[in-house]
Each structure stands twice: as structure tokens, then as C-alpha cells.
Amino acid sequence: MDVIDPTRRKVLAHGASLSLLTLVAAAGWLETSPVRAAAWNAAAFDAHSMDDTVKALHGSTPVASKDVTFVATPDIAENGAVVPVTVVSAVPKTESIAILVEKNPNMLAAVFDIPAGTDPSITTRVKMAQTSNVYALVKADGKYYVASKEIKVTLGGCGG
Amino acid sequence: MPDPMKIRANQLGDATEVKVLMSHEMETGQRKDAQGKVIPAWFIQSVDVTCAGKTVLTAQWGTAVSKNPFLSFRFKGGNKGDKVVITWVDNRGEKRTDEATVA
Amino acid sequence: MARFSTAAVVAALLVFLPGAPQAQAQASDTAAQIQEYRDALADGNPAELWDARGEVMWKEARGPKKVSLAQCDLGMGAGVVKNAYAHLPRYFADTGRVMDLETRLIHCMTTLQGISDADAHKILFGGPGKRSDVEALAAYVTSQSQGAVMDVSLADPHVRRMYALGEKIFFYRGGSHDFACATCHGEENKRIRLQDLPDLTTKSGAQKAYTTWPAYRVSQGELRTMQWRLNDCFRQQRFPDLVFGSPASIALTTYLAYNANGAVYAGPGLKR
Amino acid sequence: MKYVSKGTLAFAVAALAIAGCATTRDDASLHADTVAMLKASFKPQGQARMDRLDQDETQRVCSDYFGKPLPASVTSRVEQSNLESIKWPADGAYLGDWKAGEKIAQEGRGKQYSDDPKGPVGGNCYACHQLSPKEISYGTIGPSLYRFGKLRGYTDATRKYAYGKVYNADAYFSCSNMPRFGTHGILTEKQIKDVVALLMDPASPVNQ
């Protein structure tokens, strides 16, 4: 993915894949998934706002928390195609950690369910279409907590 | 057949650290090819990690996880010699399972 | 922020948010932040996926002749992969040519495995849905030189001549933009946009650059070899298309590899 | 690959003939062999045809002296011939629209074989220069141009200099790293005026 291509940016803004995902979901392949985890939450991944995402996750409005932090997550991404993110939750009884990118066509990037015994700390890499706030949404003991960090996506390369 | 994952599982004190690289396009469904046709979304949707048969992490992913995904986390209760088994399933229903021994 | 409907949450977040973004980040801050980004990616280089695939391909019986590359001579004897990359390019008497890793790999695929020249050249640079065998094999072979000291010899007159030609090409200005390799890679501490440019005319610059290729290119999601690096530099130089394995590509690689002598090979690397 | 091996064979022969001779970058036979090697090593692609490898006098001289001090006679010859190639605007006006200039400064596409020949062509100024302080992703191959007009004064002479410099940098500084945007037809007269406005308009973000 070449995030600096302006034509692509336009495409991203339209969020054209929604209908496709919906169609695929309707085709019923979700049920055939052999993974034990809950079926893929199409509504949450299609959501365009934090409110809609939380609603689709059957959650409540999150409160800002200093116990949710970004570690080893840079302020600037040299390339938006790969942005390293580490989220650490110090909220007791953390059950899940989600990563959302505000200005992506669909906000939700990933949700991790944290069973007892697993550290509430996740490192992964996400795509960012442009400079944006990144949110870490934590579910702990049934409640939702959120933290945010702005990550700048820079233009690079010599050929445009 | 998708390519194998590259899994590392190391015992660090009482915690087991898992690092995994997966080979996947993670196509967003928002890009167009040279002819202007939308390239359909193709991405890993679920990831499931067990150690010695016990689930230590599950995840649901969207198209915004980077191509050739990387994931790292730690859990307690693992021991050297345990098998860490990771399975991913993508939106085409393709899946891949690989394992590594905790070292 | 406007996406939160609950005013209280917005207020709470505003209090919590670490200050408004600086309109004008200091240049040194920017460099430090970019370094932070690169450090965060250093752990878990997807190049390992190519390395793993390449190792299987090296050992697997393939091609019309159904043989592995176990007899492929990368210059250190049949089948010797360990540290081979640290001594390439070199002169090969069996072909009468100076060859780099990629051209030698294709030579082995065609001569040992019976793969046609056309097939071996079909996918030189991988992309979505098309994987390059050469890139995977190069990832494997180069990973087997990790820790080796770069030691390219100019003792052979063919290699020496290639070095001289490579140097000349490095400084050759042309095209619609008057660019030579040296335009961007002939001075220390320069950058394009935010990307640091190695000064390839100095020992330290050449060492740092050469020992980190092949590399996983984050911007492409692909592993790329030196042949690709040169090809894409010339594209951006506004030159025509550098032919894979062409004499100029070998000459330039010889120039860069020799200049990197003495450095510890550390690839495959990870780049923007 | 027949194409490659044919070329390489010729070079193997050349190498044998010259083996042992000291070679410098100025060596005449080395130059001839370099040109031949380049022609055997590239293929035309998209808008980048093989004539891109043909050097004009300035490119030839500047390649030979890359990284070395230029003799005064060469400097004046290069600068004189390049100054003569500048086509000044017929209307005598140098200032266009700085907003369009900013777009041109950001645009990196143009003239690459991978670029659409009908697509946008930019100056890609930010690749090498700091301009507007709002853009933090700028290169350092060229000097910072932040406050270009403010520092030099908004005079007609400076506007003319800026136009000429973008049109043909070698006219003012022989063997500059900067592309000769006007002489090579990379940017149009209007585009160059827009870039001059980015540098010289008091309202441009560059001068804030």
C-alpha cells in the first residue's frame, strides 16, 4: 500500500469496502470459521466512530484513563503502511484491548481478548491513511477505558 | 496453501514471550489496480493462540493491520518445552496453523 | 474528537491528551522520533518470512531436473552458502563473467535445475499475488552471511575493471533531471524528505548501506535485493529501466560491495 | 539472458586488454566503455527512452568533476552556456500563485518511466529543501529556503534570480545538484512562476 498516493487517499476517504464486507458476511462464511473465538464482529469493524465501535462491541461509553498507555509507539511514522503500536493496560481485570485509528475509513484495527494469565500488553503494527489520533480502548471488569496518542504520518521518498 | 508463520516463544522468568510474523497480504479492499478495478479485501480476521492446549490470546483483526502482520505478547503459566500453537483464519476462509516450542 | 457524542468524555480526553501537536517540530526532534519508529520495527523483521521460504526452496528438488540447489556454487565451492554473500560479486570462470548473488542464483536455477531462462526471469520483483523466487533465495543466502566480514576482492582483473566502471557509473549524470547516483549519495548527513541518505563514496556510508541490503521495504511490504535497489534508484533518477543482472548493475554492485569491505554483514535489513 | 551476456562478453574482452593499467575516472577509454555499458544495460520503459542516457556538455563535464574542485575556466563555461539557455518570461513578470507553487513543491511525480506521461509533473522541492515551516518532511540536499524572500528582500532582481535559478541552476552555480527545470522542460513557465511566488510572495507560508 502506498499511502502517499493522493488518488489512493481519495479512495480511502470513500470507504468503498463496506458493502463488500457486508456481502461476504451475509454469505455465511463466518459460521464456518473453526476458530474458537467469537465470530468476527463485522459491525464493529465497519464502524466509523468510537461510539459506533463501542456499541457494536456491546460496550459502554469509555472514560479516559491514565492506566492505559502507549509504549514504544513513535510520534512519527516514517511510513503509514506500518505503524508499530504497543498498548499496555494497568487497569485491573483487563479483558480486552482494542486499537482504533480515528482517521482511517473504518476506525477499528484490531481487538485482542486477554484471558487471565496473559499480560494486558499487546504489540502489533497497523496502517494509517494519514496523520491521526490512535486510540487504545480497554475493557476491564465490564467497563471501557480509553487513551489516545497522535501519530504523524510523513511523506517520504524521492519519486512521490 | 499460505506460507508458514515465523513463531518465537521464549521463557523469560515466569513469563512466556511470544513473537509471531505471519505472511499475509492484508489487502484493504480500498485500493484499485492499474485498470481502476477495486482489489477485493483479503485479510486475516481471527487469530487464536494456545499454549499446552490452553488459550492465551484471541484476536479479531480488520484490514488496518499491516501487511505481513507482527504480534508480540506475554503470558504466565507456560514452561520450557510447551507447545505454542497459533492459528489464523482470513476472510476467504483460508487458515494456517503453526507451532513452536517454548525455549 | 468530534466523534465522541458524550461531552464529558471529550472533556476528559482533552485534559488527558498530551498537548496540541507542535506546529513546528524541531528538526532534531523529528530525527529522534524517526529513529524511535525504526527502533520499534527492528524487532520482528518480515524479511524472515522470505528467508524461511528461500531456505525451503534451496533445499527442495525443483525444476524440470528435479534437483535442489545443493550443488550451486556461489564462489566458495558447490553448495557452500555460509558467508558466500560477503565475497560477492566475484569472477566465475565457468561463465567467464563477474556475477552478483542474484545473477548467480539465476545461473544455478537454469543450469542445475533446468529452469528456462524465461521462467527464471518471469518474476524478478515480487508483488501482491506474484512471488519472486530470486528474492526468497537471496534472503536465505544473505541471512547465512550474517556476522561475516565483507571481503570483496579486486585481485581478479575482471572484477577490478567492473569496479572502475561501477565508480564511473556512480558519478554519471544524465536524464531529464541531471541526476547521478552521487547527486543523492555523494555527501554526508543529507536526506531526502526525512530519509537519511548514506554517502556511498565514504567507507562508513557504503558499509552501513551495503550490509543492510537485501531489506524488507515497509513501503512495499516486500523483500528487495540490491538489484531492485539499483533499479529503483535509476527509475527515480529518471533513467530508463535498468535490466536485471545487466553489466552496469554488476559494476555498480561491485563498486558498492568493495567500498563496504571490512564491515560486518547484517542483512537482510528493514527499511522504510 | 542473451542481452546481458553479449554485453558482458565485450567487457570481459575489454577488461583483458586493459588489465593492469591504472584507471582513473578521467580515463578516455573508461569513459567510452562506461557509455557502452550503460547502453547495453538499460531498456526503454514508458516515457524514459534510451536518449536519457545521452549526456549534454554540462552533464558530461559535471560527471567528470563530481566531488572535485572545478577549474575556473570550466565554471565560467558551464555557467555561461546555461545562462544563455534561460528563456525569460515574455511579460517580464516572475510571480505566479504561491498556492499552486506549494503543490508543485510537494509533487514528486513526473518524468519517471512509472509516471503517467499525461499525469502531474512537479518540482519535488521538499525532497531537498525546507520551505514552508508547516511541512516537517523536507530534505537537506539543498539549502533551507525558509524565509527566502523575507531574508533577501522582495525586489525585482531577486524575483528574476529565483526564476532563473529554478529554470537553470547551473547558470548560477556550475554543476549544481539541482535539476534544470526550465531547460529540460520539466516545469512550464507558469509552474516556475508559481514556485517563484512560493519563494517570493510576502503572503507565502515560506515567508512567515
Give the nearest partner residue to C193 out of A102, A133, A157, using CB atoms.
A157
**How many domains in chain D?**
1
Catalytic residues of C: 233
Give pLDDT tens digits for A7-24: 333 333 333 333 333 333
pLDDT at C55 over 50: yes
Range of the domain at D113: 98-207
pLDDT confidence of A154, banded at 50, 70, 90? confident
The verdict on residue D16 lying in a domain is no
d(Cα B77, Cα B97) in Å, to the nearest integer?
Answer: 22
Range of the domain at A3: 1-30
Instruction: Check which CATH number belongs to the domain holding D163 and give it.
Output: 1.10.760.10
Give pLDDT tens digits for A31-65: 333 444 468 999 999 999 999 999 999 889 999 99
| pLDDT score at A104 | 93
Instruction: Check which CATH number belongs to the domain holding B36 and give it.
Output: 2.60.40.10
The pLDDT of C237-251, averaged and rounded, is 98
d(Cα B80, Cα B9) in Å, to the nearest integer?
Answer: 9
Helix, strand, coil tally for chain B in percent (to 5): 0, 55, 45
The verdict on residue B62 lying in a domain is yes
pLDDT confidence of A157, banded at 50, 70, 90? low
The fraction of chain C above a pLDDT of 70, given in percent, is 90
Give pLDDT tens digits for C206-231: 999 999 999 999 988 999 999 999 99
CB proximity D12 to C under 8 Å: yes
- Are residues A70 and A137 part of one domain? yes
The pLDDT of B6-11, averaged and rounded, is 97
pLDDT at C163 over 70: yes
d(Cα C21, Cα B43) in Å, to the nearest integer?
Answer: 33
Q: For residue C17, which residues of chain A lie inside 8 Å, CB to CB?
A: 148
Q: Which residue of A has its CA nearest to C194?
A: A156
The verdict on residue A26 lying in a domain is yes
- Are residues A60 and A5 part of one domain? no
- Cβ proximity of C179 and C197 under 8 Å: no
Instruction: Please give the sequence-ordered ranges of beta strands (E in DSSP) within A24-82, or none if there are none.
Output: 63-64, 68-71, 76-77
**How many domains in chain A?**
2
Q: For residue C49, which residues of chain B lie inside 8 Å, CB to CB?
A: 3, 6, 21, 23, 68
| pLDDT score at D26 | 54
Instruction: Check which CATH number belongs to the domain holding A136 and give it.
Output: 2.60.40.2470
Domain C45-271 indexed as CATH 1.10.760.10: yes
pLDDT at C260 over 80: yes
d(Cα B27, Cα B65) in Å, to the nearest integer?
Answer: 10
Cβ of C52 and B19 within 8 Å?
no
Torsional sign, CA A122, A116, B74, B81: negative
All three cell numbers of A73: 509507539
* B26 DSSP assignment: -
Burial class (CB in 10 A: 0-12, 13-18, 19+), C76: middle
Torsion of CA D163, D165, D167, D169, to 10 degrees: 180
The fraction of chain C above a pLDDT of 90, given in percent, is 80
pLDDT at C101 over 80: yes
- Adjacent-strand bridge partners of C103: none
The verdict on residue D114 lying in a domain is yes
The verdict on residue A80 lying in a domain is yes
The verdict on residue D147 lying in a domain is yes
d(Cα C251, Cα A64) in Å, to the nearest integer?
Answer: 59
d(Cα C122, Cα C135) in Å, to the nearest integer?
Answer: 12
Q: For residue C175, which residues of chain D lie inside 8 Å, CB to CB?
A: 48, 52-53, 111
Q: Pick A25 or A104 by higher pLDDT.
A: A104
d(Cα A111, Cα A118) in Å, to the nearest integer?
Answer: 15
**How many domains in chain B?**
1
Nearest C-alpha neighbor of A57 from the set A68, A46, A65: A46
- Are residues A65 and A113 part of one domain? yes
- Cβ proximity of C201 and C257 under 8 Å: no
Q: What are the 10-residue block averages of pLDDT along chain D, 208 residues in total? A: 39 42 63 97 98 97 92 95 96 96 96 95 97 94 97 97 98 97 98 98 98
Kindly list the domain boundaries of chain C, sorted by start residue.
Answer: 45-271
Cβ of C272 and A63 within 8 Å?
no
Give pLDDT tens digits for C109-158: 999 999 999 999 999 999 888 999 999 999 999 999 999 999 999 999 99
The verdict on residue D90 lying in a domain is no
CB proximity B4 to C under 8 Å: yes
ipTM of the complex as predicted: 0.82
| pLDDT score at C213 | 97
| pLDDT score at D2 | 35
